[in-house]
């Protein structure tokens, strides 16, 4: 089976598709034209730069550079997720620890069972998927937690006044935040192959990989994303809730 071919000329012509988004934005006066253009240019520049960097790292095949690249990815993901937790003390650090631990555990298991090898051409692409999904989940967890503490402040204060610990008073909020953050991943699992064909599976098929083999890889990806999202949101939720209380065990908003 021959893989799909794409040259520079075809890619440039495909950029016409962006004009569709620009047309709808201008037609409906959404005022997104600037964001679409900037986003498109940034995507092209960033992906091109990453392509050259990955090409260099792949050629080195050095575990140290591979690890440093992963740490850099976790750092950037934690910065973005931390912005969702603006107002939560040290949200960036919490995100870094949560995403880093989740990605580390998941990758260690995958390497340990022989699903992937600890080489840049395998670890870095898998890390990108793992870290990206953890970033989104942690951001959702932070946002839901802030909203819940604001909406249910009186309930939390009543529990505190009755002698409950900060953790006991926050338990429902922590669980709701983790549940909401995990829900998109769980919903995606339910619709795989019925509603959508995931990106990795589609990419492998377009590259010429037999569908059955591509499905096996996608099942592995589904398992690893579920594990990463659950670990990262669990850690983020149970670390972040403490920052909603002061030293006197009082709720602060």
pTM as predicted:
0.82
Q: Which residue has the higher pLDDT, 74 or 46?
A: 74
Let me know if residue 194 belongs to a domain: yes
**Of 29, 60, 91, which residue constitutes the final position of a domain?**
60
Q: Which of 70-74, 130-134, 239-243, 246-250 comes out lowest in average pLDDT?
A: 246-250
> What are the tens digits of pLDDT across the range 159-180?
988 888 999 999 999 999 999 9
Residues 120 and 221 in one domain: yes
Residues 56 and 66 in one domain: no
Q: How many folded domains does the chain comprise?
A: 2
**Of 60, 94, 110, which residue constitutes the final position of a domain?**
60
Let me know if residue 172 belongs to a domain: yes
Q: For residue 200, how many other CB atoms are within 10 A of its CB?
A: 17
Let me know if residue 252 belongs to a domain: no
Residues 138 and 211 in one domain: yes
Residues 84 and 180 in one domain: yes
Long-range contacts of 73-79 (CB under 8 A, 24+ apart): 73/127, 73/128, 73/131, 74/99, 74/100, 74/103, 74/131, 77/131, 77/132, 77/134, 77/135, 78/135, 78/138
Cβ 250 vs Cβ 160: under 8 Å: yes
Share of the chain above pLDDT 70, in %: 94
> What are the tens digits of pLDDT across the range 2-29?
555 667 777 777 788 889 999 999 998 8
pLDDT at residue 137, as a whole number = 95
Instruction: Please report which confidence band the pLDDT of residue 197 belongs to, taking 50, 70 and 90 as the band edges.
Output: low
Residues 96 and 210 in one domain: yes
pLDDT at residue 251, as a whole number = 83
Mean pLDDT, residues 53-71: 87
157 phi, psi to nearest 5 deg? -65, -35
> What are the tens digits of pLDDT across the range 218-234?
888 889 999 999 999 99
Mean pLDDT, residues 108-135: 91
Mean pLDDT, residues 99-108: 95
Q: Mean pLDDT in the chain?
A: 88
Mean pLDDT, residues 106-119: 92
Let me know if residue 210 belongs to a domain: yes
Residues 54 and 65 in one domain: no
Let me know if residue 251 belongs to a domain: no
Residues 53 and 99 in one domain: no
Residues 106 and 172 in one domain: yes
Cβ 115 vs Cβ 220: under 8 Å: yes
The CA distance from 127 to 144, in Å, is 26
pLDDT at residue 1, as a whole number = 44
Let me know if residue 249 belongs to a domain: no
Let me know if residue 76 belongs to a domain: yes
Residues in the chain: 253
Residues 5 and 105 in one domain: no
Mean pLDDT, residues 136-158: 92
> What are the tens digits of pLDDT across the range 32-44?
999 999 999 998 8
Residues 222 and 152 in one domain: yes
Residues 56 and 104 in one domain: no
Domain extent at residue 129: 61-244
**Of 44, 60, 76, which residue constitutes the final position of a domain?**
60
Let me know if residue 235 belongs to a domain: yes
pLDDT for residue 246 is more than 90: no
Residues 107 and 184 in one domain: yes
């Amino acid at each position: 089976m021959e893989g799909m071919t794409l040259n520079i000329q075809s890619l440039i012509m495909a950029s016409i598709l962006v004009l569709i988004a620009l047309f709808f934005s201008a037609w409906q006066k959404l005022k997104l034209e600037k964001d679409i253009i900037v986003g498109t240019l940034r995507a092209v520049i960033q992906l091109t730069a990453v392509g050259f960097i990955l090409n260099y790292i792949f050629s080195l095949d050095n575990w140290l550079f591979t690890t440093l690249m992963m740490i850099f990815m976790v750092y950037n993901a934690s910065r973005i997720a931390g912005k969702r937790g603006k107002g939560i003390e040290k949200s960036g650090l919490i995100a870094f620890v949560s995403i880093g631990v989740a990605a580390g555990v998941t990758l260690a298991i995958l390497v340990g069972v022989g699903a992937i090898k600890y080489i840049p051409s395998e670890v870095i692409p898998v890390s990108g998927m793992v870290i990206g999904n953890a970033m989104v989940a942690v951001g959702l967890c932070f946002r839901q937690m802030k909203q819940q503490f604001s909406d249910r402040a009186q309930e939390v204060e009543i529990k505190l006044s009755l002698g409950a610990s900060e953790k006991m008073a926050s338990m429902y909020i922590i669980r709701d935040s983790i549940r909401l953050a995990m829900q998109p991943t769980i919903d995606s699992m339910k619709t795989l192959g019925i509603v959508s064909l995931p990106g990795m599976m589609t990419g492998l098929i377009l590259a010429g990989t037999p569908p059955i083999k591509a499905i096996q890889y996608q099942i592995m990806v589904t398992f690893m994303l579920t594990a990463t999202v659950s670990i990262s949101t669990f850690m983020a939720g149970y670390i972040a809730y403490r920052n909603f209380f002061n030293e006197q065990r009082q709720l602060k908003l």
